[in-house]
């Protein structure tokens, strides 16, 4: 009996070490993709299509300095696109109201000579120390990456 | 054996919690928004957008979470980030989350800690500290109203 308990304990420890090693893998801060050869309007359009295709809703787009400077002086090379999925939003807020800092989803588009970089803050990086949200945010991270990849095709 | 089981369980439950800057006071959402608008103006911050998560969810049949998000910032913060560390543009405009519960409104910033850890060197670190201090000053002002 004692030997059996020791075996079970050993299995639990090994399982825990395996999970811990996986959990300790550092999350990247940013997720990104590059839409080579596209201009800002084309990249925003492609991103909008990818958002809808992945069953998210487009919320709005704006310049990085919108409402901080007169419209005519807004930066044209950096735009923000916001989107969301209401069922996910509801689920995350029920888990932990700190999930509001992930809402709505956002992609920053930066025009470069080569095309447009699409950048998002990795939700799994933000919630590394918020265990209640981390699992949900792993899924959200996969959605983000799929949307970025699709929009950059 | 029991001792090892306890150590195992404690290690399992040990992860630290991240905490953003937060304040709360008596009142309702609309009053809090008015007070925040005034506090923002006092700190030379402009309101960019108010995102009504509460009504957006409620009108689609979900439970009303009584949460709104306020986006605010300044042109100088954007220009500063463009020069110092463009990756920090992802934090702009700055955000505050308002949560109404039982006659009180809690206002909290996004958590700056992961960003401060990721950018340990100046001038990016200093810029993050300045933004957090700006929000804290604004929330202190909000509490005084």
Spans of all domains in chain B: 2-10+21-144
Whether residues B78 and A30 touch (CB distance < 8 A) is answered with: no
pLDDT tens profile A20-45: 545 567 899 999 999 999 999 999 99
State the nearest Cα–Cα gap between A115 and chain B, in angstroms. 17
pLDDT tens profile B42-60: 999 999 999 999 999 999 9
pTM: 0.83
From CA B129, how far away is CA A50, in angstroms rounded? 36
State the nearest Cα–Cα gap between A30 and chain B, in angstroms. 9
Which CATH fold would you assign to the domain B2-10+21-144?
TATA-Binding Protein (3.30.310)
Structural domains present in chain A: 27-151 (3.30.310.70)
Enumerate the β-bridge partners of residue A80. A62, A108
Q: What is the reported pLDDT for B70?
A: 96
| SS3 state of residue A19 | helix
Q: Which residue has the tokens 């700055």?
A: B94
Whether the Cβ atoms of residue B33 and residue B104 lie closer than 8 Å to each other = no
b/e sequence A19-37, b meaning 16+ C-beta within 10 Å: eeeeeeeebebebbbbbee
* Mean pLDDT over the full length of chain A: 89
Least confidently predicted of A13-17, A88-92, A95-99, B89-93: A13-17
Strands of the A30-36 sheet, one edge to the other: A30-36, A115-121, A105-112, A78-84, A57-63
Indicate the Cα dihedral angle A134, B51, B45, B129, nearest 10°.
0
């Amino acid at each position: 009996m004692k030997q059996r308990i020791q075996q079970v304990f050993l299995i639990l420890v090994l399982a825990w070490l395996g999970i811990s090693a996986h959990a300790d893998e550092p999350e990247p801060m940013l997720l990104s993709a590059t839409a080579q050869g596209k201009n800002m309007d084309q990249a925003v359009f492609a991103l909008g299509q990818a958002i809808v295709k992945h069953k998210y809703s487009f919320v709005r787009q704006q310049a990085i300095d919108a409402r901080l400077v007169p419209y005519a002086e807004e930066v044209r090379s950096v735009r923000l696109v916001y989107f969301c999925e209401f069922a996910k939003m509801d689920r995350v807020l029920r888990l932990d109201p700190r999930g509001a800092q992930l809402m709505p989803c956002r992609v920053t588009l930066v025009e470069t000579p080569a095309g447009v970089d699409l950048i998002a803050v990795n939700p799994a990086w933000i919630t590394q120390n918020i265990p209640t949200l981390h699992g949900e945010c792993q899924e959200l991270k996969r959605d983000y990456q799929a949307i970025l990849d699709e929009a950059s095709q | 054996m029991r001792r090892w089981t306890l150590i195992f369980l404690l290690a399992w439950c040990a992860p630290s919690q991240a905490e953003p800057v937060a304040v709360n006071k008596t009142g309702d959402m609309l009053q809090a928004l008015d007070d925040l608008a005034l506090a923002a103006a006092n700190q030379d911050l402009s309101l960019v957008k108010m995102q009504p998560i509460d009504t957006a969810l409620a009108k689609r049949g979900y439970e009303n979470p009584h949460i709104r998000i306020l986006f605010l910032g300044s042109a100088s913060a954007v220009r500063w980030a463009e020069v110092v560390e463009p990756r920090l543009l992802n934090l702009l405009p700055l955000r505050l989350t308002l949560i109404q519960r039982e006659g009180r409104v809690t206002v909290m910033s996004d958590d700056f800690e992961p960003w401060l850890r990721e950018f340990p060197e100046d001038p990016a670190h200093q810029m993050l500290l300045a933004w957090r201090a700006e929000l804290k000053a604004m929330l202190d002002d909000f509490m005084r109203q």
